[in-house]
């Protein structure tokens, strides 16, 4: 799906094709290098780029970003510093059990356990963990990714 956008540099009324928007997250961490290493080991992330303190990663094509704590900006504080987080990262995988097991083996704190939930479209398997920086991750099968009703 692409959208047509007006090109401000083109003649009046001209349009250009654009890719659809992409949503991602930027996680605030205390030590970006340590966090990059952990996400690579624990979640199989691939490093896209690293500017020292800010890095781009991806897991199976889903990009996310890390930013080291900025003492000059109170809003850029890690959950491990504040003791709270307001965002939960959602991952949808073919095998959520193995994804969670790998993270826990690398030092994540396991959530309440992975279980099957009955939802209107059927069974949804989901569990989670908290990463070493204090971010909450929910990991489930891909069942919520389609439209409903089906």
The whole-chain average pLDDT of the chain stands at 88
Let me know: does 47 contact 40? Beta carbons within 8 Å. yes
| Neighbouring C-beta atoms of residue 137, cutoff 10 Å | 19
**Residue 103 to residues 37, 71, 136, Cα–Cα distance (Å):** 12, 29, 12
Cα(78)–Cα(70) distance, rounded to whole angstroms?
9
Q: Output 17 or 108, whichever has higher pLDDT.
A: 108
Predicted TM-score of the model (pTM): 0.80
For residue 76, the model assigns a pLDDT of 85
Q: Output 15 or 1, whichever has higher pLDDT.
A: 15
Locate 7 and state its tokens: 């090109």
For residue range 40-80, what is the model confidence (pLDDT) as tens digits?
999 999 999 999 999 999 999 999 999 999 889 888 888 98
């Amino acid at each position: 799906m692409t959208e047509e956008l007006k090109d401000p540099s083109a003649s009046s009324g001209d349009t250009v094709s654009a890719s659809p928007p992409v949503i991602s997250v930027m996680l605030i961490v205390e030590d970006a290098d340590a966090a990059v290493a952990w996400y690579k080991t624990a979640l199989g992330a691939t490093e896209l780029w690293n500017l020292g303190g800010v890095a781009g990663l991806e897991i199976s094509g889903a990009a996310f970003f890390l930013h080291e704590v900025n003492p000059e900006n109170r809003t850029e504080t890690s959950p491990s510093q504040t003791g709270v987080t307001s965002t939960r990262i959602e991952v949808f995988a073919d095998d959520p059990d193995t994804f969670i097991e790998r993270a826990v083996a690398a030092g994540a704190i396991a959530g309440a356990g992975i279980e099957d939930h009955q939802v209107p479209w059927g069974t949804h398997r989901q569990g989670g963990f908290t990463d070493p920086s204090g971010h909450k991750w929910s990991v489930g099968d891909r069942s919520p990714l389609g439209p409903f009703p089906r």
